[in-house]
Amino acid sequence: MQASVHEAKTNLSKLIEAAERGERVVITRHGVPAAELVPARKSKVTFGSLKDKVGEMPDAFLDPMSEEELADWGA
CATH number of the CATH domain containing 16: 3.40.1620.10
28 domain residue, yes or no:
yes
Question: Does the predicted model carry a pTM greater than 0.85?
Answer: no
- Is 73 a member of any domain? no
**CA 74 – CA 21 distance, rounded (Å):** 52
Residue 71 lies in a domain: no
Q: How many Å apart are CA 5 and CA 25, to the nearest integer?
A: 12
Closest-CA residue to 10 (of 27, 24, 34): 27
Number of domains making up the chain:
1
Q: Is residue 67 part of a domain?
A: no
Q: What is the pLDDT of residues 6-60, one digit of tens each?
A: 999 999 999 999 999 999 999 999 999 999 999 988 878 888 877 788 788 888 8
Distance from C-alpha of 22 to C-alpha of 13, rounded to nearest angstrom: 15
